[in-house]
Each structure stands twice: as structure tokens, then as C-alpha cells.
Amino acid sequence: MNRKVTVFGAGFVGSTTAQRIAEKQLADVVMVDIIEGMPQGKALDMTESACLEGFDAKITGSNDPAACAGSDLIVVTSGIARKPGMSRDDLLKTNAGIVGSVCDTIKKNAPNATVIIVSNPLDVMTYLAGVKLGFPKNKIIGMAGVLDSARFRCFIAMELDVSMRDVDAMVLGGHGDDMVPLVRYATVAGIKVEDLIPKDKLDALVTRTRNGGAEIVALLKTGSAYYAPSASVVEMVASILHDEKRVLPCAAWCTGQYGVKDMFVGVPCVLGKNGVEKIIELKLGNDELAQLKKSADHVLENVKRLNL
């Protein structure tokens, strides 16, 4: 196996992402973290599971950021996680410093890598990466839409007591309280959810989706979600490394699509070996476009707080 993925941050999201990448045989994985011994210990623990789980991908840990050299793809999960009562935006200042430093390292050591940003506030950190890295914008992608869509799909399946595999749904916009779950496009085995779930209950599912991360933070009390976020990252990683050209909602650089210009925001993307290969423009209604504009405007407000 000669593909290499580096995961910055060996906390719950980062380490679970590394584990899933290795177990799916997508690439060899390097985990980088500033805590001495922690990425090495987790890497060794995962390696010892290889004969049981049946994978040959190599997993290593390092405290040296330069270990990302030669990576085909880099996942950035570095930063502090939310605590109860915090919004994703509350993390902006601290995580901007951390993500900015990581991007300086990536630019120096892995100039040809595709970079997936996971750190919150997601869309703002992706914008920061775009500025810091200076890479072609199609090679810089934010993970959020896949996760938000997975939560929406999950809640629909739970409401209807049907298989999660039969539910299709998409969430656009920023990864925040004003994200835009597209109810009109949500289906169960091709059947519109609007024909299966009353409007008041659908509205409640939309609200739960928007608060999906906060719901888990409130329950955990000492951390935030990592199983679904890591699974969402790995779906993107697989599509890029295998050139699958999956249509997935991601924070991508918009140049006028959906009325959004010069901004990273969640839109439907074709993900392949060149990163974001195409942004698909759905026919949205006036209300949906207004919601998306509001979400993008909120991202822009926080981008301005970066003072770049």
C-alpha cells in the first residue's frame, strides 16, 4: 500500500478516523499530535488489532508535524472541542491559531496533498486553510455536510422505523445552527419524506439536525461527537483516493454558485482524485436560497473575525 494519509490531531475524531482508514485499507496512516507519546500509543494499539481485523495498512504516530511529508491526503482535526453551552463559533480564536500553524506545516512539507478540514468552526477554518495554504481551491475541502446529512437521514429513519440505508437526504450551508436541511429532496427508497411524515414532525427533525452536535455535547458533557464525524470524513477520503466521484455535500469554494461568491460553504460536490471536481447546482426554491444565503452570510461574519 503506497497511499499516505496524515491525520493531524489524535483525539477522538482523529484517532477514530485513522482507525477507519486503516481498517478499510484505504491508505497507510500517520497520526500527528503535540501530546508526547499519545499518537504513538494509539497507533501501536491499532496496529496490534490488524491481525484480528484483517488489514495490512501501516499506522504510525508522531509528535513531529513534518511527518506529513509526502502525504496524498491530509485530514485536519486539530483544535479544542466544544463543551456544553458552547457554540461552534466560540472555538474560533483558539482553533484559528492551531489550524493556521498546521497549514503552515502542510504547505512546507506536503504541497501536493488534498486537505480535508474537520476543525470547528468548520467553514471558517476551511477559509483560513484556503488563505494559509494557497493551494488550488478544489484541493481544500471542509467536512460537515456529510455529517449533517447523516444526522438528518438517521432522524428520518428513526421517525419512520425504516432502514437507514433507504433514506437519502442532503444538508447544505454552513456547519452551524442555520444549516439548510433540504426537506424537499429527502426520500425513503425514492418516496418523498413529505409524503410520509407530517410537516410539524419534519420541522422537528430539521431542528434536531441543526442541533445534532449540541445534543451530543450536552449528553457527553466532556467532549463532542466523533463516531459519525469520523465516518463522514472517511467517506470523503475513500471517494478521493479511489476516484469514486461520489456526490457529497462538502464545504467547497464557491465562485457564484447558489449566489455565493469567494466563500467556502456546504454545497453538493463531486469528489474524485482532484478533490472537488464539480459543484452541482440544484434548483432551489426562493425560501431555500434565502436560507442558504443567511447561512453563508453567517460564515462571512465569522471569517471577518479572523482579521486576515
pLDDT digits (tens, 9 = 90+) for 13-62: 999 999 999 999 999 999 999 999 999 999 999 999 999 999 999 999 99
Specify whether 202 is located in the same domain as 87. Answer: no
Say how far apart CA 17 and CA 32 lie, in whole Å: 12
Please state the pTM of the whole predicted model. Answer: 0.96
Closest of 3, 70, 72, 14 to residue 39, by C-alpha = 14
Specify whether 19 is located in the same domain as 166. Answer: no
Say how far apart CA 195 and CA 76 lie, in whole Å: 40
Radius of gyration of the chain measured on its C-alpha atoms:
19
Specify whether 130 is located in the same domain as 182. Answer: no
The verdict on whether 175 is a catalytic residue reads yes
Query: What does each C-alpha distance from 228 to 111, 183, 241, 308 come to in angstroms?
Result: 29, 21, 20, 32
In three-state secondary structure terms, 119 is coil
Q: Count how many domains the chain has.
A: 2
Question: Residue 1 — very low, low, confident or very high, per pLDDT cuts 50/70/90?
Answer: low
Query: Which three cell numbers, joined as nine digits, stand for 154?
Result: 438517521
pLDDT digits (tens, 9 = 90+) for 184-236: 999 999 999 999 999 999 999 999 999 999 999 999 998 899 999 999 999 99
Specify whether 23 is located in the same domain as 130. Answer: yes
pLDDT above 70: percentage of residues in the chain: 100
pLDDT digits (tens, 9 = 90+) for 256-278: 999 999 999 999 999 999 999 99
Domain-terminating residue out of 142, 162, 177: 142
Domain of residue 216: give its range.
145-304
Catalytic residue among 4, 175, 210, 298: 175
Q: Given the C-alpha cell 489550524, which residue does it identify? A: 99
CATH, residue 243: 3.90.110.10
